[in-house]
Structure 1
Amino acid sequence: MAPAVEERTVLDLDAAVTAVTAAALRPGPLGRVGLELEAHLVDLDTPAARVPWARVTAVLESLPALPGGSRVTLEPGGQVELSGPPAPDAGGAVAALRADRAVVATVLAGAGLGLAPVGADPLRPPARVCPAPRYRAMERHFAAVGCGGPGTAMMTATASLQVNLDAGPPGGWSRRVALAHQLGPVLVAVSAYSPLLGGSATGWRSSRQRVWGALDQARCGPLLGGADPAGEWAAYALSAPVMLVRDPDTGAAEPVLTRTTFADWVTGAAPLAGRRPTAADLEYHLSTLFPPVRPRGYLEIRYLDATPEPWWPALAAVTAALLDDPVAADAAADVTAPVAGAWDRAARDGLADAGLRTAALRCLAAALPAVAATLRPAVEALAELAAAGRCPGDALLAAARAGGPEAALLSATETPEVSP
């Protein structure tokens, strides 16, 4: 985006398109992997209650420096997110994030708290605990455009594993972005770990993906995978409704309660806040767009459910291999073509769907030779699960049948022992 000195420069349509297109994908070699993993925060004494915001922030302020360099942030429902820096490969990224999560989990356990990396909170109703004005404003926008319930659920009751990969050489961008989307339904099914939401079984293997599918698809739907992915991202961004407008002096965010596209704002067809947008407004607008694959110079793969060990390391390794290894990528492109676009089938049925199961097994087999030796046992375990037509979340359903949604949440909660 524009440098800081130009943030208040008023944009015209051509300048906005140029800025988004230029920032979408950054040329370079393939190989680096960054991981971000969210988890629901659980009070081990009262799992059915959300942890108050003041308690969350106080505990996290006591964290030491993390050995892998991860950044720790909080989501509106109190979910804890660890975002690792880019590593040379998936093995290094997993090792660093594991080390950092162990430190965070130990500190939280000392305060009676645990982390539950689950795609959707199986027990507690969606509710915001973060008081930040941005999230209050987001709730108001979602309600105004007709998806208030899914909007609150997305912000406060879902958690994901995000895999960040280099864009690679420009000559391969079109095929790479298209493949990242085409893999989506298969990897949604393979990662599905959210069969419950807010205390009830939903009938969907990935309730997280179901929630995202119920949101405004002009903001959260997939790109089309055309010949010019950077230009397509610019068209997507300019056609998406503006969610929030910040005061340029105070930074306070106000919700937009109409479906006003950024293009209409920038051309003056629909003025917002009595002014035209600046470069800073465009950058802020981009932060409110959530497609399943988001170009940010690199590629954010955003469609995987959060899962516990050993599944999240396996999913990270498989996703990177299927996109970065040329042999695995070619195989994945062929076997996923019949189920391209089957997002709802994947979320609802998971690997019980025969077509998705066939594609998943072939993808896992193609990825395995390209996976680091340290991660192969986890990938092999994932392949065995898939061969049986099962998803990681089937264990949550079993726990819920045996002991209810609270048992399901606790079964996925990491609680390392703490010395007295």
Structure 2
Amino acid sequence: MAPVTEERTAVLDLEAAVAHIAGAALRPGPVGAVGLELEAHLVDLTAPAARVPWRRITELVDALPVLPGGSRVTLEPGGQVELSGPPHPDAAAAVTALRADRDVLATALAAERLAVAPVGADPLRPPARVCPAPRYAAMEEHFAAVGCAAAGTAMMTGTAALQVNLDAGPCAGWSERVSLAHQLGPTLVAVAACSPIAGGRPTGWVSQRQRVWSDLDQARCGPLLGGADPAGEWAEYALTAPVMLVRDPGGGAAPVRERVRFADWVTGAVPLGGRAPTAADLDYHLTTLFPPVRLRGYLEIRYLDAAPEPWWPALAAVTAVLLDDPVAAGHAAAATAPVAGAWDRAARVGLADPALHAAARACLDAARAAAPAALRPEVEALADLVDRGRCPGDALLETARAGGPTAALLSATEASS
């Protein structure tokens, strides 16, 4: 928890709010470091159709040892388990560390007849919240009030992602780098797609996880527009986004049941919680914004489906290479320009779309040439999959068609071990 300081408790004006957001958006420096976060659905192998009770989950996580790769273990509202690794010198080191941490977690879970399934959407169980925290109850109320209740619950409790965190790089390249991170999005959504089934049935979309995000309030979840000043654009985005929650002194969170821009709370045009906002409120507001690329001093790339081995390590390597290697980045920029805005098309049909397939093949060719040697077999396997017009979710869908959604969920846990 951040310390309570005079700066964090001072009342904001609009100018101070812009400076606060923009000043923390991107940190200058070299590129190369990679941080990974992998979410997965927690499965009771004895009763896979039932969600694991919250108390059982928290007791198990609280008893875990310090993980060898330095990951933190956190929990999502539907009981999904997330491994959040620290920055490592490159993608290979980040994958090695996360694999070591995943193995320790898997051993602890197996002793309780539990396992994790890293796929973009829960193929068996309907979305449902098991976490009792006030933040998530308030989020559900806000989503319901603004007309996206089903998507909000599905996002919180039924999806899982692979997140790749990359350095912002030198200031002079910020605009191009942030723009490319967004431009790659639809192509990599199609490559990573691993959520064709949700709640026990095929959805007709290759990435149900991305579909869910597209169904949410785009003032909170839509992409940045790729302007010349990404830090300033992020500040404008954040201040225009509606306030979701107002915290009270007792640690609770009250939902905001109408669309109120944070800027309107700052100026006093719309009072919330009987007080003006502080820098601490603004920092909390930023945690409720979910664009496909979020600026947190570094680039937090959020648009990849979680996928089992060997796909998530390959996706981590490919994403890092296409942004950090200058030659690969140049090829990727040219290849993905024709499909830069095709988010929904990528989530719906993926590599069945000829333009997305062409972009994906070019990106994988570029990534294969520059991939770390330790991850080249995984990247080669992904490149071969893409060449054939397939994605990680195809095997999941085939298993579901042959044996039902329970078999699909269990097959994902087997593939992750």
Task: Tell me the TM-score normalised to structure 1 length.
Answer: 0.98
Q: Secondary structure at the match of 1:291?
A: coil
Post-superposition shift, 1:370? 1.6
Match of 1:242 in 2: 243
Post-superposition shift, 1:97? 0.1
Which shifted more, 58-67 or 275-284?
Answer: 58-67
For residues 54 and 164 of structure 2, what CA distance do their matches in structure 1 show? 27
Give yes or no for the alignment of 1:215 onto 2:216: yes
Match of 2:407 in 1: 407
Post-superposition shift, 1:292? 0.2
1:262-300 Cα shifts (integer Å, max 9, x gaps): 000000101101111011110000000000000000000
Residues 109 and 415 in structure 1, CA contact (< 8 A), matched pair in contact too: no
Match of 2:385 in 1: 385
Post-superposition shift, 1:2? 10
User: Where do 1:307-346 residues align within 5 Å?
Assistant: 307-346=307-346
Residues 137 and 253 in structure 1, CA contact (< 8 A), matched pair in contact too: yes
Residues 115 and 415 in structure 1, CA contact (< 8 A), matched pair in contact too: no
Aligned residues: 416
Give yes or no for the alignment of 1:101 onto 2:102: yes
Post-superposition shift, 1:3? 7.6
1:208-228 Cα shifts (integer Å, max 9, x gaps): 000000000000000001100
Post-superposition shift, 1:381? 0.6
Match of 2:14 in 1: 13
Equivalent position amino acid for 2:402 in 1? A
User: Where do 1:139-218 residues align within 5 Å?
Assistant: 139-218=140-219
Match of 2:70 in 1: 69
Q: 1:327 to 1:185 in 2, by over 3 A?
A: same
Q: Secondary structure at the match of 2:162?
A: strand
Post-superposition shift, 1:416? 8.7
For residues 272 and 57 of structure 1, what CA distance do their matches in structure 2 show? 33
Match of 1:133 in 2: 134
Which shifted more, 173-182 or 59-68?
Answer: 59-68
Equivalent position amino acid for 2:230 in 1? P
Residues 118 and 305 in structure 1, CA contact (< 8 A), matched pair in contact too: yes
Equivalent position amino acid for 2:53 in 1? P
1:221-261 Cα shifts (integer Å, max 9, x gaps): 000011000000000000000000001x2121100001000
For residues 414 and 26 of structure 1, what CA distance do their matches in structure 2 show? 40
Equivalent position amino acid for 1:64 in 2? P
Q: Secondary structure at the match of 1:412?
A: helix
For residues 384 and 4 of structure 2, what CA distance do their matches in structure 1 show? 50
Match of 2:38 in 1: 37
Equivalent position amino acid for 1:84 in 2? G
For residues 4 and 372 of structure 2, what CA distance do their matches in structure 1 show? 39
Equivalent position amino acid for 1:364 in 2? L
Residues 351 and 390 in structure 1, CA contact (< 8 A), matched pair in contact too: yes
For residues 226 and 12 of structure 1, what CA distance do their matches in structure 2 show? 24
1:184-228 Cα shifts (integer Å, max 9, x gaps): 000000000000111110000000000000000000000001100
Give yes or no for the alignment of 1:78 onto 2:79: yes
Match of 1:270 in 2: 270
For residues 407 and 362 of structure 2, what CA distance do their matches in structure 1 show? 34
Post-superposition shift, 1:374? 1.2
For residues 332 and 143 of structure 1, what CA distance do their matches in structure 2 show? 39
The alignment yields a C-alpha RMSD, in angstroms, of 1.2
Q: 1:222 to 1:344 in 2, by over 3 A?
A: same
Equivalent position amino acid for 1:300 in 2? E
Equivalent position amino acid for 2:370 in 1? A
Residues 51 and 78 in structure 1, CA contact (< 8 A), matched pair in contact too: yes
For residues 89 and 378 of structure 2, what CA distance do their matches in structure 1 show? 20
For residues 275 and 56 of structure 2, what CA distance do their matches in structure 1 show? 40
Post-superposition shift, 1:4? 3.0
Residues 155 and 209 in structure 2, CA contact (< 8 A), matched pair in contact too: yes
Post-superposition shift, 1:415? 8.2
For residues 304 and 416 of structure 2, what CA distance do their matches in structure 1 show? 25
- 5+ residue gaps, structure 1, are none
Post-superposition shift, 1:339? 0.3
Equivalent position amino acid for 1:66 in 2? L
Q: Secondary structure at the match of 1:17?
A: helix
1:2-36 Cα shifts (integer Å, max 9, x gaps): 98332110000000001000000000110000000
Q: Secondary structure at the match of 1:49?
A: coil
Q: 1:226 to 1:149 in 2, by over 3 A?
A: same
Equivalent position amino acid for 2:301 in 1? I
For residues 416 and 183 of structure 1, what CA distance do their matches in structure 2 show? 26
For residues 261 and 300 of structure 1, what CA distance do their matches in structure 2 show? 23
Match of 2:226 in 1: 225
Give yes or no for the alignment of 1:28 onto 2:29: yes
Give yes or no for the alignment of 1:352 onto 2:322: no
Q: Secondary structure at the match of 1:7?
A: helix
Which shifted more, 368-377 or 14-23?
Answer: 368-377
For residues 224 and 153 of structure 1, what CA distance do their matches in structure 2 show? 26
Residues 43 and 115 in structure 2, CA contact (< 8 A), matched pair in contact too: yes
Post-superposition shift, 1:407? 0.5
Q: 1:333 to 1:268 in 2, by over 3 A?
A: same
Equivalent position amino acid for 2:160 in 1? A
Equivalent position amino acid for 2:308 in 1? P
Q: Secondary structure at the match of 1:125?
A: coil
Residues 241 and 262 in structure 1, CA contact (< 8 A), matched pair in contact too: yes
Post-superposition shift, 1:154? 0.1
Match of 2:119 in 1: 118
For residues 343 and 327 of structure 2, what CA distance do their matches in structure 1 show? 25
- 5+ residue gaps, structure 2, are none
Q: Secondary structure at the match of 1:391?
A: coil
- Identical residues among aligned pairs (%): 75
Match of 2:55 in 1: 54
Match of 1:367 in 2: 367
